[in-house]
Amino acid sequence: MSDKKPVQRIVIAGGGTAGWMMASAIARTMGQTVDLTLVESEQIGTIGVGESTIPPLVNFNRILGIPEPEFMRATQATFKLGILFDNWKHDGDSYFHSFGLSGKDHWSAGFQHFWLNARERGHEQPYADYCLELVAAMQGKFAHLPEERMNYAYHVDATLYGRYLRKLAEADGCKRVEGKIARVELNDENGDIAALHLDGDRRIEGDMFVDCTGFRGLLIDGALHAGFEDWSHWLPNDSAIAVQAKHVGLPQPYTQAIAHDAGWQWRIPLQHRMGAGIVYTSGYLSRDEAYDRLMRSVGEPLIEPFDIKFKGGVRRRQWYRNCVAVGLSGGFVEPLEATTVHLIQRAVLRFIRLMPNGRVSERDAQEFNDQQRLDIEQIRDFVVLHYKATNRRDSPFWRHVANMPVPDSLQQKIELFRETGRVFRKYEELFAENSWVQVMMGQGIEPQSYHPIADKLRDDEVERLFQTIRDNIAQTVATLPEHHAYVARYCGAE
């Protein structure tokens, strides 16, 4: 056995999804080389939402060596193939943002160009018919396919996921301390955080601190005042009510996002229950009206509904001095595309890649902040798109968001697509071309043109190409089991 002393004391403040994802990943990766402590307060609790995820979480679990069926049993998870958006383009319309690719791209032009061209030639099949994940989702089907042909994520019970990760982290050497952080002590000489003071005169020293205290941002904001950039002029929703309810029907392999006249509602199907909630702008809808709407639209509630207040925006510096803010303490883009757990995952893996070797380097912090900011800005643009590009004008809320100025980066994407049908993924952006195309067309942006290469195909070639893609999808989906039956079998419940 090595008698090497731990090189660093890392203290994580907060034990929500962010805290335990960070703890389990550091403990598993760095093992005994760091002295890792997590402080959390049962009395304060966690935010209690965060159940819809996106595909990279599959990889995060793999990195931690988590067996998928065990994880799904422990968190009551189901599979997710995308999001069904109801009433977003206009009341009564639906479209699907799937995790899959549509049709067949040519290196010079995405499939949408060929589809737009075919439509002009009289082809009537919707764009949605050309995506395997989308067709499977709408038929309530799922299975793992060879060569990972089915791109998926999970719906999880966030509290159970936290508990599961806690077990892993503790088994890998993370110490958990129960207690309320009453004060953050700064080093008089350099302004870094020196220690956390807990109720009952306990003091926890560290070299590096991770702020996972949620919207409170107890360390990054309360102690270090790293500043916050408010994005509520682009993301006006500021309130939510969440509830858990009995299932109505079978759990489907997709999240539902149903727009209403001042925001939207979510439905997230887990194995044992439905997660549901309403998101709204308090300036346009009263809390009581939001509550009534939510409760009228869900099955029998299993818990008392609870309110959450939030503000869209980002911490100016997510890594500042010897503190890194991960999770809600680092910034928040409303949950429409279920991206916060992903931002946590990115921050966790990024932090481990930039793990200080004894001494915190300003350069590491700068790199972390630049990369993290780019991620959250790109996600912000994608979410704002759902509000800006809409035909809805039926309420003050929709008139406001349809008319609001948007970030230049988003305006460029929208106009380029509208004029040419083109969209490009930049700098490893989370949402690739396929996501942008589905949402831009789903929200009602009609490209005025397409790539000229699409004209090169003869009518019979277009027909054959499109028919082959549809036939392949139909044949594959016909072999898939029902999603709920597959989950039961996969998790060993049958």
Tell the smallest beta-carbon distance from residue 375 to ligand FAD (Å). 13
For 41, the 3-state DSSP assignment is coil
Residue 140 as a binder of ligand FAD (CB under 6 A): the answer is no
Could you identify the residue written with the tokens 């380097």?
361
Q: Is 310 in the site for ligand FAD (CB under 6 A)?
A: yes
Catalytic residue chosen out of the listed positions 4, 5, 80, 104? 80
Residue 198 beta carbon to ligand FAD: minimum distance, rounded to whole angstroms: 7
CA–CA dist 197, 180 (Å, integer): 8
Cβ closest to ligand FAD, residue 147 vs residue 201: 201
Contact between 337 and ligand FAD (CB under 6 A)?
A: no
Residue 46 or residue 102: which is nearer to ligand FAD going by CB? 46
Q: What is the dihedral of CA 104, 105, 111, 113, to 10 degrees?
A: -140
Interface segment toward ligand FAD; rule CB under 6 A; list 108-116, 334-342, 452-460, 477-485: 334-342
102 lines the binding site for ligand FAD (CB under 6 A) = no
From CA 268, how far away is CA 254, in angstroms rounded? Answer: 8
Whether the CB-CB separation of 191 and 209 falls below 8 Å is answered with no
Contact between 17 and ligand FAD by CB under 6 A: the answer reads yes
Q: Of 113, 46, 8, 7, which Cα lies nearest the Cα of 447?
A: 113
Contacts of 203 (CB under 8 A, 6+ apart): 185, 195, 196, 197
Binding flag, residue 416, ligand FAD (CB under 6 A): no
Q: Is residue 211 at the binding interface for ligand FAD, with CB under 6 A as the rule? A: no
Q: Which residues are annotated as a binding site for FAD?
A: 15-18, 328, 337
* Token pair of 482 as six digits: 């029902």
Between 31 and 60, how does the x/- string for binding to ligand FAD read (CB under 6 A)?
--------xxx--xxxx-xxxxx-------
Cα–Cα dist 135/300, whole Å: 30
Please report whether residue 75 would count as binding ligand FAD according to CB under 6 A: no
285: contact with ligand FAD by CB under 6 A: no
Minimum distance of ligand FAD from residue 39's CB (angstroms):
6
Other residues' Cβ atoms within 10 Å of the Cβ of residue 225: 11
- Separation between Cα atoms, residue 277 and residue 261, nearest integer Å: 15
Measured torsion, CA atoms of residues 449, 418, 374, 213, in degrees rounded to the nearest 10: -140
Block residue for tokens 């195909």: 457
How many other C-beta atoms can be found within 10 angstroms of the C-beta atom of residue 345? 24
Number of C-beta neighbours around residue 275 at 10 A: 24
Does 281 bind ligand FAD (CB under 6 A)? Our answer is no
**Other Cβ atoms within 10 Å of 287 Cβ, number:** 12
Residue of 26, 36, 341, 445 that binds ligand FAD (CB under 6 A)? 341
Annotated binding site for 7-chloro-L-tryptophan, which residues? 80
Nearer to ligand FAD, 112 or 265 (CB): 265
Nearer to ligand FAD, 112 or 345 (CB): 345
Structure tokens at 128: 């949605």
Asked if 456 is an active-site residue, the reply is no
Min dist. Cβ of residue 467 to ligand FAD (A): 38
Give the footprint of ligand FAD on this chain (CB under 6 A). 14-19, 39-41, 44-47, 49-53, 158, 180-181, 212-214, 216, 218, 240, 242, 277, 279, 308, 310, 327-328, 335, 338, 340-341, 344
Indicate which residues carry an active-site annotation: 80
